[in-house]
């Protein structure tokens, strides 16, 4: 005689479905679905040759605008949950809390919540920035964003007609 399968306990949740940086997100007005445009993990900040040498620096930081998406699925945990994102600079310093919000997850296990991130990172130099994503105080992932600061070179000087 075959054993009856025990009914399993709820599997838990919420679950992280996606976490990434992108150029932008577009929300459909009819059904709320999202379209993601140009996923990125690196941003290049190009400075013209005329930019003063002290820019960027500790005193003269430059903004780099980062957009991203966090997507969670409810699983067996509907209701209110706190989502927090903390940025870590290339030096390892956890510079600031980028985002914190209490979100109500839908009752359906396949439902959940999508959160669009928009943040200006004030950089003094380039490097690898990490964004730590927490759900109810527990880290669920880290999102890397490489920022490259490059200064364009002056074009070579053309000799004038007289010499």
pLDDT at 138: 95
User: At a CB cut-off of 8 Å and minimum separation 6, what does 31 contact?
Assistant: none
User: At a CB cut-off of 8 Å and minimum separation 6, what does 77 contact?
Assistant: 12, 13, 14, 105
Q: Tens digits of per-residue pLDDT, 80-120?
A: 999 999 999 998 888 667 889 999 998 999 988 999 998 88
Half-sphere exposure (Cβ direction) of 126: Cα atoms closer than 13 Å: 13
pLDDT at 142: 96
Q: Whole-model pTM? A: 0.81
Listed in order, strand segments (DSSP E) in the chain are 15-27, 34-40, 42-47, 62-73, 79-88, 94-105, 112-123, 127-135, 138-151
Residue 161 — pLDDT band, cuts 50, 70, 90? Answer: low
Q: With contact defined as beta carbons under 8 Å apart, do 72 and 66 qualify? A: no
Q: Tens digits of per-residue pLDDT, 129-147?
A: 999 999 999 999 999 999 9
Q: Does the pLDDT of residue 12 top 70, yes or no?
A: yes
Domains observed in the chain:
15-151 (2.60.40.10)
């Amino acid at each position: 005689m075959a054993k009856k399968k025990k009914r399993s306990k709820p599997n838990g949740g919420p679950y992280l479905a996606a976490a990434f940086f992108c150029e932008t997100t577009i929300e459909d007005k009819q059904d709320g679905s999202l379209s993601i445009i140009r996923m990125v993990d690196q941003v290049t900040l190009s400075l013209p040759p005329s930019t003063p040498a002290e820019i960027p620096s500790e005193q003269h930081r430059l903004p780099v605008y980062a957009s991203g998406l966090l997507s969670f699925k409810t699983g067996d945990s509907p209701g209110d949950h706190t989502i927090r994102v903390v940025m870590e600079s290339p030096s390892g310093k956890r510079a600031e809390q980028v985002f914190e919000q209490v979100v109500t997850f839908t009752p359906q296990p396949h439902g959940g919540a999508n959160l669009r991130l928009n943040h200006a990172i004030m950089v003094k130099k380039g490097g690898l920035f990490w964004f730590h994503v927490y759900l109810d105080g527990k880290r669920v992932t880290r999102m890397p964003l490489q920022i490259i600061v490059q200064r364009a070179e002056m074009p070579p000087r053309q000799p004038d007609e007289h010499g």
